[in-house]
Structure formats: C-alpha cells, structure tokens
Amino acid sequence: MTKQLKVVFMGTPDFAVPSLKKLFEAGFEIPLVITQPDRPAGRGKRIKPPPVKVLAEKFNIPVYQPEKVKGNEELLNKLKEISPDLIVVAAYGKILPNEILDLPKFGCINVHASLLPEYRGASPIQSALLDGKEKTGVTIMLISPELDAGDIISQKEVLIDRKDNAQTLHDKLANLGAELLVETIPYYVSGKLKPIPQENSKATYCKPITKEMGKIDWTLPAEKIFNMIRAFTPWPSAYTTFRGKRIKLLEAEPIEGSGNPGEVIKADKELVISTGEGALKVKKLRPEGKKEISGEEFIRGYRIKVGEKFF
C-alpha cells in the first residue's frame, strides 16, 4: 500500500523533520515537499532554509516554497498536476484553503502535538508544561477549515517528566508523531481506521508564545514559576531582573521555604529564592550577556547575599 501511495508533505520547522524522514524511509512516494520560504535567523540574521527543506534536498525530493497558499494558482496547479493521494501536514505554519483540502483522494492529515481536543492552536507543547500536565501526546487528524477541529484518526499518549522542558518534550512528541503517522496511514487509507469527530465542548485553545510571557512574577507560587521555566526553555526563556540586569532562569526546583516574593533566602551552595508560595531552588541560569552557569557559580561569582531581591 505505501509504495503506491503518492504523498505531498507540508512542514517547516524541526518538529516536522522526523515525520518527513519516517515517510521517506517507509517507502512512500513523495513527489513534492512544500515548506515556508528561507528566512533570516540567528544573531547575524543570515538567510537560512527551513529544516524540512534541508532534509528534503538530502533525499532529492523537489521543494516548493510559496509565500502564500491562499489564492495561489501556481501552487494549486502543481498539486493538480501531481494529483496526490494524500497531503500530510506537520507544523507547516499556514492555514490551507478549501481548494487544497478537497484535492487529495484521502484528504489532508495533520500531526498535532496534543491530545485533541485539548490544546488546539499554536503552542500545545508549552501550554501542557505551563499547566503542569503529567501527560500529553500526539494526534493524527483530518484537517478541516476550522483550527485543529478535524476528525481524529489516531492518538498516542506520552508521560511528561518533571525534568522535561519545551525542547525535550518537543523532541519526544516530534518522534512519537512521526512513528504514529507511518503506522496510521495504511490503516486509514484502507478504511480500517475511521476518523472520529472531536468533542468540541471539551476543546481548549492556546495562543502563540511571546517574549513578554517569560517575565517572572515572584508573587506566583513556586510550582507555577517552575512550570514557566520548563515551558519557556529554550525560547523565549523565563527571565527576571537582578541588580538592574536581566537574568534567564533555565532550570529550577520548587522547594519549601518562605520570605518576601523574589527575596534570596539561601545563598551558600544553593541559590534559593522565595515566591508567593514556597521557594525556588535555582540550578541553572544565564546572566545578561554571559554564558550559562550553575546557581552555585552565580553565588560565588556575584557574591550573592541573603536578603537581596529579584524583580
């Protein structure tokens, strides 16, 4: 079944890479990969190709990078010419118009990083961490015009470790999604797996992450700040101010302790900061313009005293 199936792949960032790799390795015919245009990235703002393009070129798969998909006649004609059986989407970054959704024989399916209908939208991985969830997962779904509201074809759960941050959970879900995708497609196209409508009444939504969301409010409970640090590592980072400089907190642990919110209550071998409820032991941080250091290195290097405050 896989060898006869013609699949167009649409994806852009690192999350989509394992899905394309698995499809290629499973022997699906992939006549075209559609991804976002090359963009400036990093400090030097050099033009960089999306990760999916890099992999597609390695596999010698033709790549098309349209600026827009809605009302794009060239894109539509390319797809009509190929006449794909299926379009697979993984973090492509644009909403597909009906003329594309209706084109493939088996429709368009999406790899989504949550157990839908929970966390529809742009930030399911960070949102699961922010909410302190103990498990999340991936969903293979039919794409519908409404955001992440299509019928569910298959799902798989994964436990969230207390040590997970957005990067480690991203990698777990990207790999899990790729595995589930190649397992699901043969059953779906053969009719053995019937898509099931989502329970819209249980839907929750998550917004795109912004830099401002990383600012720590020390009046919050330690557990909430701990979840923020996990959710915003590596980007945009949970940050605070100390002695007038911005500091990114990269790893911490909620512990018992009390004092004024933001106040250093321990500064020997451990850096402990009081919060609105409990305290936070800071394990790794990055002072503005400096490299990542441990809490102990920070205490020694900056001669931190009990009673000093983070804002």
- Cα angle 216-221-223, degrees, rounded to a multiple of 5: 90
Nearest by Cα to 109 from 189, 17, 34, 28: 189
Please answer whether residues 273 and 222 qualify as being in contact, where contact means their C-beta atoms are separated by less than 8 angstroms: no
Give just the sign of the alpha carbon dihedral 136, 137, 138, 141: negative
Cα gap 304→223, rounded to integer Å: 24
Bridge pairing between strands 120-121 and 205-206: parallel
Please answer whether residues 36 and 92 qualify as being in contact, where contact means their C-beta atoms are separated by less than 8 angstroms: yes
**Distance set, CA 10 to CA 63, 138, 145, 174 (Å):** 10, 17, 16, 15
Cα gap 228→239, rounded to integer Å: 10
Nearest by Cα to 153 from 186, 120, 127, 105: 186
- Cα angle 159-186-30, degrees, rounded to a multiple of 5: 100
114 assigned to a ligand binding site: yes
Nearest by Cα to 285 from 259, 264, 306: 264
Structure tokens at 44: 């030097």
**Distance set, CA 130 to CA 114, 230, 232, 238 (Å):** 14, 8, 9, 11
No. of helices (H) and no. of strands (E), the chain: 8, 17
116 assigned to a ligand binding site: yes
Binding residues for (6S)-5,6,7,8-tetrahydrofolate: 114-117
Binding residues: 114-117
